[in-house]
Amino acid sequence: MKQSALMRLWRHRWLDQGDARRAVPPAVAESLRQRVAASEKQHTGEVRICVEGALPLSYLWRHWRDRAPIEQILRERALMQFAKLGVWDTTERNGVLIYLNLAEHAIELVADRGLSAHVSPAEWAAMVQHLGDALRAGRVEEGLTGALEEVSAALIHHYPASPSNGGARPNQLPDAVTLC
Does pTM surpass 0.85? yes
Q: What is the pLDDT of residue 141?
A: 92
List the chain residues with pLDDT less than 70: 1-3, 164-168
Options 3.10.310.50, 3.40.50.720, 3.50.50.60, 3.40.50.970; CATH of 3-160+171-179:
3.10.310.50
- Rounded to a whole number, what is the largest CA-CA distance in the chain? 61
Q: What is the pLDDT of residue 150?
A: 94
| Rounded Cα distance, 73 and 68, in Å | 7
